[in-house]
Amino acid sequence: MKVLKDILYRVSLQSTVGNMENGLVDIAFDSRKVRKGSAFVAIPGTQVDGHDFIAKAIEKGAGIIVCETLPKDIKEGVTYVQVQSSSKALGIMAANFYGNPSKQMKVVAVTGTNGKTTTVTLLHQLFQDMGYTSGLLSTVENKINEEVIPSTHTTPDSLSVQRLLAQMLEAGCTHCFMEASSHAIVQERIAGLNLTGAVFTNISHDHLDYHKTFEEYIKAKKKLFDELSKDAFALVNIDDKRGKVMVQNTKATIQYFGLKTAADFKAKILSNTLEGLELDINGKLIWFRMIGAFNAYNIMAVLGTALLLGEDEEEVLKSLSGIKGARGRFDRISIAGITAIVDYAHTPDALENVLKTINEVRTGGEQLTTIVGCGGDRDKTKRPVMAKIAVTESDKAILTSDNPRTENPQEILKDMEEGVGPSDLRKTLTIVDRREAIKTACMLSKKGDIILIAGKGHETYQEINGVKHHFDDAEVVTEFLTQLNQN
């Protein structure tokens, strides 16, 4: 049995009541998961306050309570630990509980509005390809070597992070590549991690529902770099206007990557087509299977990380050149001479990048139809902006539902329509039902045309009122294009 005082190593304590030698069988931050002998950590949340469940946790057998405010009613035989931030304490306690796995592996966290999943997935594939056993924590899936563990968040809660890392270590993983979402950084889901390095891809409009202002959103991402140790590396996109801000207070060794500005890892795009990218990297001309200029940034982030981890440039480029990237990111489906592209672009910046890429690589003449929606219970201010980008950059746009969650899809679409100017109305359709929207786009397309289905990428569900219904953009478009092909 683990002992409380060991688990609290490096947690800054404000006060304690009771026996610090008490044992614990596990740690829980949800009273519903407490069992006899658990330590319960009370966290103030966005919906409720964990402190309101302390009595419930004790009733269920918790012998240790970690909290920010001590309850009035102190129970005999229970140990109370008061800390300034329970979520931070939880991260450090989780790391101690699982034996600090991140100290025995090389863990790299990637943050930024777009490109996190792509970058960590490429890194995982690259290191597997180069003969390492490595782990992955991402929006699409978590992986221990090649074993897939379903993912519920972009960055799991801190207990899950540490548990997964411990499992990775046990499976022989030497590296772990993980996404650090801004929510996770603010909520201290990565507290207690010993990072070998952190990467910044870019920052643009998203999640203002949660962070309230763009400044707060920048601050959230910057916190990752502020907290790196002096032995770590901070690899930053120099072409992003906030790149330097990210690392202005870091103790880590700063390195830059980019395409436009002088950088430690720099590339030039030689060609950009629907087949892939050709890059000039230090005079070497290399072909990659990834599509779009934004992926040149992701490739450079991956190359920089691999080199900072001590890998050989030639070997890295050889492997990287054959890698395809993450599911649902610029996935191409060609049937009946029509090209459908399924992409996870769910921010204005991502949508603009994907559409610009398509417009750069298309030959002209063909019709480009974009199907896009915006998620419910998420940043409302991006809705008109994304609709505007879709209609401006395409020949036809169909506004439809993404994951409405608890919102009325019609209301989300009304918010989106605000972004469509009068002159663009004639090329815009609004079809609430996503399946109908995809069907309509297929029926309006002919040989040579392109359909972009944006926003859901790898997702295989549509979340409506708390229920996830099976829905897969790639599956639906394949069904309708196949029907067209047969007629």
Ligand X SMILES: CC(=O)N[C@H]1[C@@H](OP(=O)(O)OP(=O)(O)OC[C@H]2O[C@@H](n3ccc(=O)[nH]c3=O)[C@H](O)[C@@H]2O)O[C@H](CO)[C@@H](O)[C@@H]1O[C@H](C)C(=O)N[C@@H](C)C(=O)N[C@H](CCC(=O)O)C(=O)O
Ligand Y SMILES: Nc1ncnc2c1ncn2[C@@H]1O[C@H](COP(=O)(O)OP(=O)(O)OP(=O)(O)O)[C@@H](O)[C@H]1O
Give yes or no for residue 154 binding ligand X (CB under 6 A). yes
Q: Shortest gap between Cβ of 194 and ligand X (angstroms)? A: 20
Contact 366, 450 (CB under 8 A): yes
Q: Shortest gap between Cβ of 3 and ligand Y (angstroms)? A: 38
Is 482 annotated to bind a ligand? Reply is no
From ligand API, ligand Y, ligand X, none, interface partner of 29 (C-beta below 5 to 8 A by class): ligand X
Give yes or no for residue 400 binding ligand API (CB under 6 A). no
Q: Which of 5, 60, 75, 153: binder of ligand X (CB under 6 A)?
A: 153
Q: Which residues contact 446 (CB under 8 A, 6 or more apart)?
A: 337, 338, 367
- For ligand Y, the binding residues in 38-77 under the rule CB under 6 A are none
From ligand API, Mg ion, ligand X, none, interface partner of 409 (C-beta below 5 to 8 A by class): none
From ligand Y, ligand API, ligand X, none, interface partner of 353 (C-beta below 5 to 8 A by class): ligand Y
Closest CB to ligand X among residues 147, 209: 209
From ligand Y, ligand API, ligand X, none, interface partner of 184 (C-beta below 5 to 8 A by class): ligand X
Q: Which of 455, 471, 474, 476: binder of ligand API (CB under 6 A)?
A: 455
Supply 134's token pair: 């490595």
Q: Which of 32, 72, 260, 447: binder of ligand X (CB under 6 A)?
A: 32
From ligand X, ligand Y, Mg ion, none, interface partner of 294 (C-beta below 5 to 8 A by class): ligand Y
Is 402 annotated to bind a ligand? Reply is yes
Report the alpha-carbon distance of residue 182 to residue 486 in Å, rounded.
Answer: 47
Count of alpha carbons within 13 angstroms of residue 453, beta-carbon side: 31
Give yes or no for residue 150 binding ligand X (CB under 6 A). no
- For ligand API, the binding residues in 315-344 under the rule CB under 6 A are none
Give yes or no for residue 111 binding Mg ion (CB under 5 A). no
Is 156 annotated to bind a ligand? Reply is no
Is 154 annotated to bind a ligand? Reply is yes
Contact 390, 351 (CB under 8 A): yes
Report the alpha-carbon distance of residue 42 to residue 86 in Å, rounded.
Answer: 6
Q: Shortest gap between Cβ of 113 and Mg ion (angstroms)? A: 10
Q: Shortest gap between Cβ of 459 and ligand API (angstroms)? A: 6
Is 163 annotated to bind a ligand? Reply is no
Is 18 annotated to bind a ligand? Reply is no
> Which residue in the shown chain puts its C-beta closest to ligand API?
375
- For ligand API, the binding residues in 153-172 under the rule CB under 6 A are 154
> Which residue in the shown chain puts its C-beta closest to ligand X?
45
Give yes or no for residue 265 binding ligand Y (CB under 6 A). no
Report the alpha-carbon distance of residue 100 to residue 98 in Å, rounded.
Answer: 6
Is 401 annotated to bind a ligand? Reply is no
Binding to Mg ion by CB under 5 A, coded x per residue (else -) over 132-161, reads -------x--------------x-------
Q: Which of 102, 142, 298, 403: binder of ligand Y (CB under 6 A)?
A: 298
Give yes or no for residue 97 binding ligand X (CB under 6 A). no
Number of Cβ within a 10 Å radius of residue 470: 8
Q: Which of 189, 211, 346, 434: binder of ligand API (CB under 6 A)?
A: 346
Going by the annotation, the residues of the binding site are: 31, 112-118, 154-155, 181, 187, 189, 378, 402-405, 455, 459
Going by the annotation, the residues of the binding site for meso-2,6-diaminopimelate are: 378, 402-405, 455, 459
**Chain residues that interact with ligand API, rule: CB under 6 A:** 154, 346, 375, 378, 402-403, 455-456, 459
**Chain residues that interact with Mg ion, rule: CB under 5 A:** 116-117, 139, 154
**Chain residues that interact with ligand X, rule: CB under 6 A:** 29-32, 43, 45-48, 50, 53, 153-155, 157, 181, 183-184, 187
